[in-house]
Structure 1
Amino acid sequence: MSGSHDISQPCADLTDVAAGWLAALDAGSADMAAFEAWRDADVRHAIAFAEVAASWRDMDSLRLVQGDMAAPEKAPEPARPDRRHVIRAAAGVAAVMVAGGGFAYRAYARDTASTDLGERRTVAVRDGLAVDLNTDSRIHWKTGETTRIWLERGEVAIRLASAQKVDLQTPGGAFQLMPGIYNARLRDASCELAVVKGSITGVGATPIGAGAIVLATAGRIASRAGEDADLDRVTAWQRDILVLNGESLDYALSEINRYLPKKIVIGDPALSRIRLGGTFATTNPDEFLQALHTSFGVRATPNAGGGIILTRT
């Protein structure tokens, strides 16, 4: 891919910034408008502030409990670390605890929608804005002057009418979506975003237009020009199909298994080298398994756990 861009990210000392705001608020010296602008500029700012505030409250509660405990003799107090450094460490632990669980997203957003394995649903976020959720997906959103959507898990299609803009927040980075149609899919810590129609702004000096497929990782994106075939494959799940064009059986199973509670696994490593092409239903794996048997002589055997093992006939 080519065309590297920066996506807005918090600085390395974001927790220190949040702690500074908390201290100013506690002292009554904070500019509330400036604080709210900083907090609302990025969900990570709100998350950092929530974590610091929680740590601050925990330490206050601990100090009160310790103060109430009677002791026959009071030993000299050891030197206590600077409060902000303690907050920084505690917030770091809190960040690890909430990572991946969506707690911080839910705390900041107003609404949530999700799907189970094999389920697909459409959510009307507001007039002119609809989100289709693929299998095993979860989003959170907050409407207002600017609508924000957080993609916590899985894959979504976003359909945005004219005169609308959306800030899309993902673990890989943030995007501002102009009116159009988009497909966003999380891949580990990255987010793949396909611009089916419309354009992305806010990720670089030049907007990224229709046909592009970008991958955001750690706040940076790499983009490439897509083709109609690429976009058709990316959006095929909306028609309940999987499009393969010479991919390995390993890849095909990783895609099919996204929709299945009981997985299909390879029992013979040599089968991994099989290359597949064609269109297969995601709602029923029987068609896929029959094609493997007919074209490659692959046997599908149920296992004790309810899944399927693939071997040579």
Structure 2
Amino acid sequence: MVVGFEESHDGVGGQKKASGSARDGELRQQAVAWLSLLSSGRATQADGEAFKRWIGLDAAHAQAYAKASHVWNGLKPVAENAVPPPARAIVNAGITRRAMFGGAAAAMAASAAYAAVHPPLALWPSLLELGADVRTATGERKQIDVAAGISVDLNTRTSLSLRSNARDGRYVELINGEAVVAAGPQANGSCIFAAGTGRVIAQNARFDIRRDGDRKVRVACLDGSIDVEHTTQTVKLGANQQMTYDHAIAGKAEDVDPMQVTAWQQGRLLFRQTPLSEVIAEVNRYRPGLLVLMDDSLASRRIDASFQIGRLENVIIYLQQAFDVRVRRLPGSVVLIG
């Protein structure tokens, strides 16, 4: 079904509930253990399902998790020398009470360094992003000139590293996020735009490049033609073509709708036959806090929708009306849907 729009296994913390401050302490410890697991890089799909069940049991669970994430954010500067988290703290039967109270604090310290590089659920910028030469915050855009004839329009949560070398001239690396790059005729050989294991060579061309953490990089040519050099091959893209690649594989050129790719430059998010899970993930890039889809049965529902970036609360209203879902608002702009 396509909807159109225009504008109990509890894993961690399976023990009985306490009362008052004792229960608050238990929830804090449980939230810390969940953060430790989700940021460890070892969490399985079953762990993810258990986490969603745990956070959906009580609004206080999600509140504790939101508060714990803010604490982790403050710990990043002192955690850079900590060792990575050890073996998984959570198993099929859930974490034990002893581990929750005796080991959660240690797990938090041990995992902080890893979380600084791989923030759970993108709750904060990674260390690489914090060290970038140019960076935009949530909901922010910025335009810069990186070299003669080369301008860059940075989208939300985007980080760039800028440097020069004798061989390549101006060298720009996309650490994370998305940017539209316009390269004039004088840009030939003066700037290399890199992301992950690939780089883009452009002259008299305009292209959009997006990198989401350590996942795939997408390059879309909007005007002119560009060469995308990957460790495995070089792909030439013409106007309205795109390709994706990761550290090992480069895809082929395919057609793309430039209006959908660059809608953010006009202050809109445009979705065409997009699964709801991807819609929510995209919206989370632009708004503070976090939208969490609690009903897995809705994740694959495809929608056609257009939203104004400056009015993303309309997304929540739309979901309530289109899918008749329950919405719970928590501190930190966390919203549970379904």
Equivalent pairs, count: 208
**Paired letter, 1:125:** V
Among 243, 264, 272, the alignment partner of 2:299 is: 272
2:206 partner SS: strand
Q: Is the 8 A contact 2:291 2:337 kept in 1?
A: yes
Residues 1:162 and 2:162 are matched in the alignment: no
Among 154, 169, 177, the alignment partner of 2:202 is: 177
Q: Distance between the aligned counterparts of 1:138 and 1:205, measured in 2?
A: 25
1:207 match? 236
Shift of 1:251: 0.9
Q: Counterparts of 1:34-45 in structure 2 under 5 Å?
A: none
Q: Percent identity?
A: 23
Q: Distance between the aligned counterparts of 1:119 and 1:206, measured in 2?
A: 31
**Paired letter, 2:217:** C
1:149 match? 172
Q: Distance between the aligned counterparts of 1:178 and 1:143, measured in 2?
A: 18
Deviation >6 Å, runs of 4+: 97-100
Please report the TM-score for the alignment, with normalisation by the length of structure 1: 0.59
Q: Is the 8 A contact 1:212 1:223 kept in 2?
A: no
What's the CA shift string for 1:136-169, capped at 9, x where partnerless? 1111223577322111111111011122133111
Shift of 1:220: 4.6
Shift of 1:301: 2.1
1:55 match? none
**Paired letter, 2:157:** D
1:57 match? none
Pair 1:284–1:253, CA change in 2 (3 A):
same
Shift of 1:118: 1.3
What's the CA shift string for 1:193-216, capped at 9, x where partnerless? 001112223635773322220112
Q: Counterparts of 1:61-72 in structure 2 under 5 Å?
A: none
Q: Is the 8 A contact 1:281 1:288 kept in 2?
A: no
Cα RMSD, aligned residues only: 2.8
**Paired letter, 1:281:** Q
2:141 match? 120
Please report the TM-score for the alignment, with normalisation by the length of structure 2: 0.55
Higher Rg of the two aligned structures:
1
Q: Is the 8 A contact 1:113 1:123 kept in 2?
A: no
Q: Distance between the aligned counterparts of 2:225 and 2:316, measured in 1?
A: 39
Shift of 1:225: 2.7
2:155 match? 134
2:271 match? 244
Gaps of 5+ in 2: 1-115, 119-125
1:287 match? 314
1:256 partner SS: helix
